[in-house]
Each structure stands twice: as C-alpha cells, then as structure tokens.
Amino acid sequence: MSYFVQRDAGVVVGLFDARQPGFAEEFLPADHPDVAAFLAPAPPPPTYRDLRKQAYLTELSTATSADPLDAIGDTLDALIAELRARGAPASPEFTAIAAKVDAIKARFPKPN
C-alpha cells in the first residue's frame, strides 16, 4: 500500500489513501522510512520523574523485589527510625503516619 503524505517542517504528520489537494499531494510507498517513522514513532524520552522513579527503585530499596512500593516502604521505615532515634519533635500529621506504619508492621511482621 502507498500513501499520500502531509508534512509539517519536513516531517510526515498525516497519511491518506487518496490525494488531498493542497496539503497531501506527495506520494510515498508504504516501506518508505518517513512512512515507517510516522506509523511507529520513537517513544518519548524519559521524564525526570521516570528517571527518579527508576533510581529510587534501584538505589533506595533494600528489598530484592522490583516493586516500587518496596522502595517507598524501605525509605519510609528508614526515615521514621532516624527521626525517632534523634528524638525529633514530630507534627501531628507525622505522628499519625508513624502510628499507622507501626500498626501495619504489627499486623504483618517481617519474617526472620
């Protein structure tokens, strides 16, 4: 199959089975590299959030799991332990979160 293509700044932005007078008059075969690039565009580059998420997962987790929640849980445990060890004053919000974490750990203790 071949296509009539619409371009913007030299890049294919549309494919049509029939000629579109005035904006899609260039004819290209289906195996042309520009047609292939339009049909299967490259994925967008990773955002800083994607990069941070991967780094947090691989660098902060002490678990052997690839689950990002394990990394978050390990980090939360370390932060709470550090604040308690320092005797740091805690806000009511932090105290509530720490109590919930303690309750969850009591219900689901870490195996030996």
**Max Cα distance, the chain (Å):** 75
For 11-20, 47-56, 77-86, which range has the lowest pLDDT when averaged over its residues? 47-56
Reported as a single tens digit per residue, the pLDDT across 93-105 is: 888 888 888 888 8
Residue 3, helix vs strand vs coil: strand
State what percent of residues in the chain have pLDDT above 70.
Answer: 91
State what percent of residues in the chain have pLDDT above 90.
Answer: 3
Would you kindly state where each structural domain of the chain is located, as residue ranges? 2-39, 48-107
pLDDT at 61 over 70: no
Q: Cα separation of 110 and 57, whole Å? A: 20
Reported as a single tens digit per residue, the pLDDT across 13-28 is: 888 888 888 878 888 8
User: Locate tokens 């060890």: which residue?
Assistant: 85
Output the CA angle 46-68-57, nearest 5 degrees. 65
